[in-house]
Amino acid sequence: MKKNDLCVITVHGYTAEGMGVGRTDDGMAVFVPGAARGDRLEVLLVKVLKTYAFGKIQTILEPSPYRAEADCPHFGKCGGCDFRHLSYEEELWLKARRVHDAMTRIGGFDLPVPPITGSPDTDRYRNKGQFPVGRGPEGTVYGFFRSRSHQLIPLTDCKLQSAESCALAAAVCRWADEAGVAPYDEETHAGILRHIYVRQGRAGLHLTLVVRKDRLPREERLVELCREAVPALCGMVVNVNPDRGNRVLGPACRTLWGDGRLEDDLMGNTYRLSPLSFYQVNHAQTENLYACAAAWAAPDGDTEALDLYCGVGTITLTLAGHCKTVMGVEIVPAAIEDAKENAARNGIENARFLCADAGQAAAKLAEEGFRPGVIVVDPPRKGLDEAAVKALCGMAPRRIVYVSCDCASLARDAKMLFEQGGYKPTRVQAFDMFPRTANVETVALLER
């Protein structure tokens, strides 16, 4: 087989990224975006390697019973969604299978994975949108990048975002055209407006403009247009990112109008969130996820607990009502300030917070003799580093609760925790935090 050959395959499964997998007559694996398990396809090979190939669908000869009609005109172009061609039941099946395969093949654990917890909503569930901007034929446009590129696909709506978020983005684009504010150009490092960043909570919507330079023309007009578009707007912030690169947010924020932070309720507590602070994007599913993590942590009134990668303290403060003391550790200073204020706002006095790298903090706490009964970790996609694994084992908690947005790094870290500290996963639960995308959230309980 060679590039541009046509072949016929039947799709029998999915990759971790959600591509369909089938085999040619001579046994070569072919990975195909937009395919469904059970499809019989004519495929054009676009890249052929020694033992596998990548292809794209030429003809659907026999459609899978799990295939659905895509309900978004941007699907397949914009990089936001992966699974609008599948029924939701099939999407849940493949995500549960992905978690099971990771724990088995990467971690080496023969552990049953119960049915995944589906999201209460599959559309309009995101409380956060980060829209890059660009120049279109008729002016400034917002959208998302095409998958694996920085080619902007302009949008007028996104089925994952709220209608109000898209209305705010459109209002900002109108202001940019009126004020002569050019979109940022990555190649030339020219232009001003980089991203439109919208969050939504109980108090309304909060808008952050990510710009290359701080001072903007006609700021009063910007506020006027945005408040007209979304009366529930509660605050506007300017975030300055003068650097080249893919990082969206810069370190400095200036409140332009209203409240500089967003307020929301979660798990019975009230939180204030700065634009730089992490917060889960699917509110209803987050409550399911955190309820599971707290139940599995199962601290009693005499337990000391540690929450690494604590963000604004959502899990920390959830644990506080069930244990003697709890410490949250987070490297982002704005998030730690939010966490301290959130504890005070909710009358929680047995939680304290440390601004530090999680792995380094864990190692230092272990050296100081800190021995929490339970440790909760919610690391970024890359997972734990070796220093953090060593420190967790050195503190010798009774149990570790691991919240993960990448089941592959979870499985790898669980294997290290087992080999170095004897911590074996005894329960795993997957949550569909991000419907229509390839991402899946997982909670694992590890016990000695």
Residue where the block lists tokens 């399911």: 288
Residue 157's alpha-carbon distances to 73, 141, 191, 436, in angstroms, are 10, 12, 24, 16
Residue 442 neighbours by CB under 8 Å, 6+ apart: 99, 403, 404, 407, 410, 428, 429, 430, 431
3-state secondary structure of 8: strand
Residue type, 298: A
* Distance in angstroms (rounded) separating the CA atoms of residues 11 and 98: 16
Residue 103's alpha-carbon distances to 21, 111, 233, 296, 303, in angstroms, are 20, 7, 43, 18, 29
Among 7, 81, 310, 405, the active-site one is 405
3-state secondary structure of 53: strand
Active site residue 405: yes
* 408-417 residues labelled b (16+ CB within 10 A) or e (exposed): bbbbbbbbbb
* Distance in angstroms (rounded) separating the CA atoms of residues 79 and 102: 24
3-state secondary structure of 54: strand
Which residues are marked as active site? 405
